[in-house]
């Protein structure tokens, strides 16, 4: 089939095929760009989420003063949580009562619980940073 203006019909088929391939390739590139952008956004979301958690500082003291660590102390007759807190008091707490509250929390003790002599209790302390 020939046309005076368009020439050979097979030529028109080739032109149409090229146009369709170009359109399909454009769609494919657009889809790949969209997937790349979504992947980058998801990666950035994960990085920002975990970096915020990594930089969160749960201690109230700066790192230059040291780190909060824990030690085990033997309980003697007449010891109370308050007396142990006063003996091991550190400036990371605003008062010995606050330290006593944390000792109770760490050791799962209530206000009225008695300490048994001979047992051990976990107490927080501040380990000084080396090099200062």
Condensed to tens digits (0 to 9), the pLDDT of residues 32-78 reads 999 999 999 999 999 888 887 666 655 554 556 678 889 999 999 99
- The domain boundary, picked from 12, 38, 55, lies at 55
pTM for the whole structure: 0.49
pLDDT digits (tens, 9 = 90+) for 17-36: 999 999 999 999 999 999 99
What pLDDT does 113 receive? 87
132 falls within a domain: no
> pLDDT-based confidence at 89, cuts 50/70/90?
confident
Answer yes or no: do 46 and 15 share one domain: yes
Q: Which domain holds residue 74?
A: 63-127
In a domain, 46, yes or no: yes
Do 14 and 41 belong together in one domain? yes
Closest CA to 92 of 56, 131, 55, 123: 123
CB neighbourhood size of 75 (10 A): 17
The whole-number pLDDT of residue 22 equals 95
**Distance (Å, whole) CA 24 – CA 93:** 67
What's the domain count of the chain? 2
Instruction: Let me know whether 27 and 50 are in one domain.
Output: yes
Average predicted confidence (pLDDT) for the chain = 84
């Amino acid at each position: 089939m020939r046309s005076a203006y368009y020439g050979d019909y097979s030529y028109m088929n080739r032109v149409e095929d090229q146009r369709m391939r170009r359109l399909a390739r454009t769609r494919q590139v657009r889809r790949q760009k969209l997937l790349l952008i979504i992947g980058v956004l998801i990666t950035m979301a994960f990085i920002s989420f975990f970096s915020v958690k990594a930089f969160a500082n749960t201690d109230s003291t700066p790192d230059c003063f040291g780190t909060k660590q824990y030690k085990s102390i033997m309980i003697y007759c007449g010891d109370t949580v308050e007396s142990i807190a006063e003996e091991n008091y550190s400036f990371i707490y605003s008062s010995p009562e606050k330290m006593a509250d944390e000792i109770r929390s760490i050791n799962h003790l209530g206000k009225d619980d008695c300490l048994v002599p001979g047992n051990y209790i976990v107490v927080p302390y501040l380990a000084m940073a080396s090099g200062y």
